[in-house]
Amino acid sequence: MKRWSRTLVAAALAAPLVASLAACSQGGGSGSGSNANMKAPACTAPKMAGMTTQAFDGETTSGTSTDPFDLNGKLVLDSGITEFSGMSSGAAASGFTAGTQFTVSVREACADPGEIAQSVLSGEEEEEASTASGVRSYDWTLPSAMSVADLSAAAEADSCIAGISEAGVAEIDSLPTDPLVPTQGHLSMLEAGLAYDQLTAAAVAKPVVIAIIDTGVDVKHEDLKQVLWQNADEIPGNGVDDDENGYKDDYNGYNFEDRVASPAAGAKWGGYHHGTHVAGLAAAQGGNGLGVSGVMHSGVRVMGLNVFGSTSGARVSDVVNAIRYAADNGADVINLSLGGSGRNASYESAINYAIKKGVIILAASGNDGTELTSTNFMAPGSYGSSYAGMINVGSIDSIDSSLSYFSNYSPTMVELGSPGAENSSSGKGVLSTYPGDKYIRAMGTSMATPVAAGGAAMAISMLRSRGYAPSPATVEAVLEVSSKTLTALTTKIRDGRAMNLRNLADYISRSYPVTNSPADPGIPEQDACAMGTSN
| Positive/negative CA dihedral, 302, 307, 313, 314 | negative
pLDDT at 271: 87
pLDDT at 447 over 80: yes
The yes-or-no verdict on residue 60 having pLDDT over 50 is no
pLDDT at 334: 98
Residue 14 exposed, middle or buried by CB count within 10 Å (0-12, 13-18, 19+): middle
- Cβ neighbours of residue 378 closer than 8 Å, sequence gap 6 or more: 65, 67, 339, 340, 341, 365, 366, 368, 372, 408
> Active-site residues: which are they?
214, 274, 446
Position 194 scores a pLDDT of: 87
pLDDT at residue 162, rounded to an integer: 65
Mean pLDDT of the region 53-60: 23
pLDDT at 145: 82
Q: Is the dihedral of CA 432, 435, 440, 443 positive or negative?
A: negative
Mean pLDDT across the stretch 190-202?
A: 80
The β-bridge partners of 255 are 260, 306
- What's the mean per-residue pLDDT of the chain? 76
What does the alpha-carbon distance between residue 514 and residue 524 come to, in Å, rounded to a whole number? 14
Averaged pLDDT, 456-485: 95
For the cut 80, the answer to whether the pLDDT of residue 193 exceeds it is yes
Q: Pick the closest to residue 317 from 51, 59, 53 (CA basis).
A: 59
CB atoms under 10 Å from CB of 189, counted, come to: 26
Residue 103's contacts (CB-CB under 8 Å, 6 or more residues apart) are: 137, 138, 139, 140, 164, 165, 166, 167, 169, 170, 171, 182
3-state SS assignment for residue 5:
coil
Name the residue with higher pLDDT: 168 or 18: 168
Tell me whether the omega of the peptide bond preceding residue 380 falls within 30 degrees of 0, making it cis: yes
pLDDT of residue 198: 77
- Per-residue model confidence (pLDDT) at position 388: 95
Quote the pTM value.
Answer: 0.71
- Across the range 399-416, mean pLDDT stands at 97
d(CA 15, CA 149): 12
In tens, the pLDDT along 228-284 reads 999 999 999 999 999 999 999 999 999 999 999 999 988 888 889 999 999 999 999
The H-or-E segment that residue 445 falls in is: helix 445-465
**What percent of the chain is modeled with pLDDT above 70?**
69
Max CA-CA distance within the chain?
77
Distances in whole angstroms, Cα of residue 272 to Cα of each of 230, 265, 268, 441: 22, 6, 6, 15
pLDDT the model gives residue 401: 96
Q: Of 150-164, 321-335, 501-515, where does mean pLDDT reach its minimum? A: 150-164
pLDDT at 344 over 60: yes
Averaged pLDDT, 330-334: 98
